[in-house]
Structures are given as C-alpha cells and as structure tokens.
Amino acid sequence: MKKRLMLGVVALAAVGILVAFASNAYAKPDKTKSCDGCHTGAVLVVTASEMSNDGTTANYTVSAPGADAVAVFDGATKIDQITGVSGTISVPVGKTYVLQAVAGPTKAGGWGSTSISPVAPIVIPTPGRTTTPTPDPTSTVDPKPTDDPTHDVKHAASVRIHVMAAHGHGIAGMTVTLTNTLAGTSVTGVTDDHGMIKFSDLTKGTYTASVTLADGTILTKTFKVGNHNHRTVALKDHKAKTDHKHATHKVAAHKTADHKSTKVAKAHTTSHASAARH
C-alpha cells in the first residue's frame, strides 16, 4: 500500500515538473532560432506603433493580445523580449526587425509575428518660410578708400569722388567722407592733386559723399551704387560761382550807373554851352 502511494506521489511530481517545463517553454525563445520552428497553435495578432524617432533610435509600443511573451529578433538573434501582452522596445534605425509572440502553457498555445523597419525621419521645410542667417558682426567689411588701381576687386563696385572749385579745377587735400546710408558705416579719404579720391569694395546701396571746404562750405551729394558699378561723382563749389556772378552783376550795375551819370553831365554841359551862345 505504501509502495503504491509513493509511486503515486512520484508520478504527480513528474507531471508537475513536465507541466512547469511546458508552461515556461514559451517564455524564452531560442536566441538563434525563430519561434515558429517550435511554437504552433492559434494565430496571435502582433502590432507595433512607433512612439518616437530621433534619427538614431526608434521607440515602439508593442501589443499582442493573448500572448505570454514577445521576442524581438535582429536576423536570427534575439535582442529584446517583452513579458506579457504589451510593452515597449527601443531599436536602432536602419534595420528590419521581426517581433514574434508566443502563448503557453505549451508550445502549441499560439504564435504570431510582425516586422518593423524604423528609418530616420525626413525633415520637410515649411513652404513659404526661409531661414535668415544671423549676420556675424565681425565679418562686416566697410568700404575702403584707395588710389591703388591694383586694389580694386574685379567684380566689386567703386566710386570716384571729384571735389571741384567753381572754375572746374580739382581741389587737392580735401577730406571726403563716404557714408552707407543703410548700414550707417562711414569711411574717409583725402583727394589727390586732381581733387580725386576713389572708394572701392562697395556693396550695392545708397551712399552720401560730403566734404568741408577751406572756407567752411559743406558740399554733399547722395547717390546709388549698383552691383559691379563704377562711377564718378562730382562735388562742385557752386556757391563760389554764384558769388562770382553776384560780383559781376554789381560791377555791371556800377558801370551802368557811371555811364548814366556821364550822359547826364554831358547833357548838362551842352545845355549851358547853348545858353551862352544865345
């Protein structure tokens, strides 16, 4: 009797071990063998939804209703595993991964799979929007005065300022200031023996040239410079010419008055001579 009882206990223990082994068989898929090679049964539906992707790593939410475990394979190698019907996984982008779900308590409890192929996201610019780079203040280049023709850049704009007296001759030794009206930057140069000064490396824009003459007269002129433009701008002392005209008019008026006085005197003398004869 005792012997039969012992045999019964041993049999029950053996069955328990087999059941336990069978119930755990689904939980650890072979690392070098696909789960479908040893798992069968009901088809399990496996879904994977991408939550985020930084271009290097993609994160997924995985769901497999009825499953006890979901294994993630990179080729024939298992790289991750979820215990239960759902969970999250993280995988590098640029590859295709197979997700295989299994259910117990035996290898015939069920199996299912799906695949994911994360790629780096493509950034599409928004139509109508452009990015304006922030200007580097250290890279600002002011216009440079020079009389050296070799300094002139082949495709840069330039301007020659000619400071002239009323009679049209150039005035040497005058300090000319050239100002970019938009940028607010200025540069100066001194005229040569012909009253000329050249400013090179100019960008397209509006400029104002000014000079103060020896008598305090200020001459200014505003003009535009285009791309690859080379021009000459004259700063002429029209005031001196005007003063000369005024002086000429005064002399003429004085001569006219003298002429009238002479005619009156002659007429007066003639009148007295005529009266004497009578």
Per-domain boundaries in the chain: 21-116, 141-237
Predicted pLDDT of residue 209: 95
Domains 21-116 and 141-237 share a fold: yes
pLDDT of residue 248: 52
The residues near 180 (Cβ < 8 Å, ≥ 6 apart) are 143, 186, 203, 205, 206, 207
Q: Which pLDDT belongs to residue 180? A: 94
Rounded to two decimals, the pTM is 0.39
Q: Output the CA–CA distances (angstroms, integers) from residue 13 to 1, 4, 23, 26, 58, in the order listed.
A: 19, 14, 15, 21, 46
- Provide the pLDDT for residue 119: 92
Q: Which CATH class is domain 21-116?
A: mainly beta
What is residue 226's DSSP assignment?
-
Q: What is the pLDDT along the chain (278 residues), one digit of tens a residue?
A: 555 656 555 555 554 544 443 444 444 555 556 776 788 888 889 999 999 999 999 999 999 999 999 999 898 888 899 999 999 999 999 999 999 998 988 888 888 989 999 998 887 766 666 555 565 555 444 555 544 444 444 557 899 999 998 888 899 999 999 999 998 999 999 999 999 999 998 988 999 999 999 988 999 999 998 887 888 889 888 765 545 455 555 545 555 555 555 554 555 555 544 444 54
For residue 271, what pLDDT is reported?
52
Provide the pLDDT for residue 105.
86
Residue 73 pairs in a beta bridge with 78, 98
The CATH number for 141-237, chosen from 2.60.40.10, 3.40.605.10, 2.170.130.10, 1.10.10.10, is 2.60.40.10
